[in-house]
Amino acid sequence: MPIIIDGKLTSSQIKSEIAARVAEIKTEGGKIPHLAAILVGSDGASQTYVNAKVKACEECGFESTLVRLEESVSEEELLKVVEDINSNPSIDGLIVQLPLPKHISVEKVTDKIKPEKDVDGFTPANVGRMALNWPAYVAATPYGIVELLKRYEIETSGKHCVVIGRSHIVGSPMSILMARNGYPGNATVTLTHSRTKNLEEIARSADILIVALGKAHFVTKDMVKPGAVVIDVGIHRIEDETKKSGFRLVGDVKFEEVSEVASAITPVPGGVGPMTIASLLYNTLLAAEKKVYG
């Protein structure tokens, strides 16, 4: 059996560490971290994610503000709300829950967020600083993966890391982080995607395989080198008549068969997912303590 990389357990440990630091800040009379979230519309999944983030703030002793806006809000109105939060000194971090309605430019909204408050790590300033290995807020999911590799003491130096998926949120920043000089890092990285030729062959050459393609059960046993470490970023709901709910959650990797050959693997659910919120909270703590931008 492979090592199961438990994101749920690790995220709980990180939140406990953050809560302990917040308790110290309170004792010292310092500023309590404050995260603001903007939710546009009534998408069910988005509401679930935002509520989970607000709950996590409470668990860690953070202050939080949730701004709800109608689906019909104009781009100009949303940008004004972002600007108001940018200029509010009591708020340390700001996230705008995606997706946004089609009439609103994600790029414009992201670019409007002050880099010092961009705890999602999506602004050009933070992406650029990350690429240069400067202090930056790293996008929450890639940062969570890096933290899992570190806490499970998985060797990355000199290893061949294959990333499947090139999104700006996961794949692209992940490839940069794994190639950077440091630990985890110093890997030789191949970034692949849906247009890559011989994808199966490249995947089989990976010592560390990070899958963020967005296709359920895409990676099968024959695509994984025996002994490889497999990180599954995907999450999908598929029908399952054996479950009371009528469905179950699966990843981009066929867990049951890939776990027969992998040396370590993240489950879905309970792997990478819980780490995303923990990373977001950690970035907010950094923002409150002015440890990135000073």
Q: How far is CA 74 from CA 67, 103, 182, 219, 280, in A?
A: 15, 8, 43, 41, 27
In the annotation, is 97 catalytic? yes
Taking a C-beta distance cutoff of 8 angstroms, is the pair 84, 112 a contact?
A: no
Within 10 angstroms of residue 82's Cβ, the number of other Cβ atoms is 23
CA-closest candidate to residue 31, choices 85, 83, 74, 88: 88
Taking a C-beta distance cutoff of 8 angstroms, is the pair 92, 115 a contact?
A: no
Amino acid at 149: L
The catalytic position among 92, 97, 207, 232 is 97
Tell me the C-alpha distance between 23 and 143, whole Å.
24
The catalytic position among 6, 15, 53, 252 is 53
Reported in sequence order, the residue ranges of the chain that DSSP labels E, i.e. its strands, are 3-4, 34-40, 63-69, 93-96, 160-164, 188-192, 208-211, 229-232, 236-239, 247-250, 264-265
Longest dimension (CA), the chain: 58
CA-closest candidate to residue 58, choices 290, 277, 274: 277
The catalytic position among 118, 120, 232, 252 is 120
In the annotation, is 120 catalytic? yes
Residues in the chain: 294
Taking a C-beta distance cutoff of 8 angstroms, is the pair 7, 274 a contact?
A: yes
Give catalytic residues, as residue numbers. Answer: 53, 97, 120
